[in-house]
Amino acid sequence: MMNLLLINYEYPPIGGGAATATWNMSRELVKQGHHVIVVTANYQKLRGWCEEEGVQVYRCRALRKSPSRSSLFEQLSFVISATIALPKILKNYSIEGVIVYFSMPCGPLGSWCKFLQRTPYVISLRGGDVPGVETSVNRIHYLLQPVRRLVLKYSQTIVANSISLKQAAQQADPFPVAVIPNGVDTDFFYPVEHHNKVFQFLFVGRFHNQKNLFFLLKQLNHLKNTITISFICHIVGDGYLKDKLQEYATKQQVNLIIKWHGWLAKEQIRHLYQQSDCLLNPSLYEGMPNVVLEAMACGLPVIASNVVGNDAVVRHNQTGYLFELSKEEEFQTALQSLLTNRKKARQFGEAGRDWVVKEFSWANVAKEYVQLFIGQK
């Protein structure tokens, strides 16, 4: 058994998919007998040391203000605080391996661990930290390229959570990349039988440009105006686009078919998965979307954009549909296909549940990460 350190500037209750992945990974590693410490950013009254289900969590002092987003300055404040805290943590807990989520901003902390104690570190790429995946931060990636490449060069292994993300990473930087997918807790996320009179679509995620929510609202409005079957769409999440999205929804006259939920607790999100009929994920890019895995584990079919991340999870015409972002008619066809054929929607959902149970186990994910350290001993 090993003493392992996980570093991520986001960790529940703050953050998105990578935070959820870190949470699940830490608990699975503990189940497998490892001693696990998580270093993350503080948020409101959550600060310093605490124990959560056997995981030792240290929340560094940082300037994080929002649960759903973090500015570059806030991220930098975490990196500075973690840099100060890590020497003592490495020494006191005899850390044998470090898993760092995001090449930037957290990657340099892995390099710091190696410099201090020669502790090997693995970089877990998440999507937006790979150049070219999120075009809006291309300039930042260009400016940080020397630092990022040093971080990647001295890591023991670089891990992507999908084949398409691996390909994007290898195109951006000259280093080999392994693939270990995200997992999903299929004991916690499971389907229940329900009989909705009105078809229930669902979106879960941050209100960020990446999630393509203006496109989604526009398409739901078009669907409302072209079909007579009743439906609503639950939108779960929060973020800096919230006010603009709600204003746009009012202008598009889709408020009557939208239910805004804000951030929900894990159990509440599970309930919505279980009571919905289809998950929508029109993102511009993903790493490997935890939300999609969770929804599929709850027996939901998924309609998703055919982009990095989504293409690794959704099996087109088997567990849902993948559509090209440039072809709005494909999205409309997919929406109408499931809205008018609930039997097909249920069949896709059942196939999705079977697929994630078979292929996306957190137990297997944790073992694969540990093997990266054991294999180098």
Domains of the chain from N-terminus onward: 3-183+361-374 (3.40.50.2000), 199-359 (3.40.50.2000)
How far is Cα 15 from Cα 95, in angstroms, rounded to an integer?
A: 25
- pTM of the predicted protein model: 0.80
pLDDT band at 357 (very low <50, low <70, confident <90, very high): very high
DSSP lists the bridge partners of residue 234 as 202, 259
Q: Does residue 30 register a pLDDT over 60?
A: yes
CA 370 – CA 377 distance, rounded (Å): 11
Could you tell me the two tokens for 260? 């805004």
297: Cβ contacts below 8 Å, ≥ 6 apart:
184, 185, 186, 189, 190, 191, 352, 353, 356, 357
pLDDT (tens digit per residue) in 238-271: 989 999 999 999 998 899 999 999 989 889 999 9
Q: Which residues contact 71 (CB under 8 A, 6 or more apart)?
A: none
Q: Please give the Cα distance from 239 to 66 (Å, whole number).
A: 8
- pLDDT for 145 equals 97
Position 106 pLDDT exceeds 70: yes
Handedness of CA 11, 13, 15, 21 (dihedral sign): positive
| pLDDT tens-place string over residues 225-235 | 999 999 999 99
Give the pLDDT of residue 69.
83
> Computed over its alpha carbons, how large is the radius of gyration of the chain?
21
pLDDT band at 223 (very low <50, low <70, confident <90, very high): very high
Angle 297-129-97 from CA coordinates, rounded to 5° = 80
- State residue 334's pLDDT score: 98
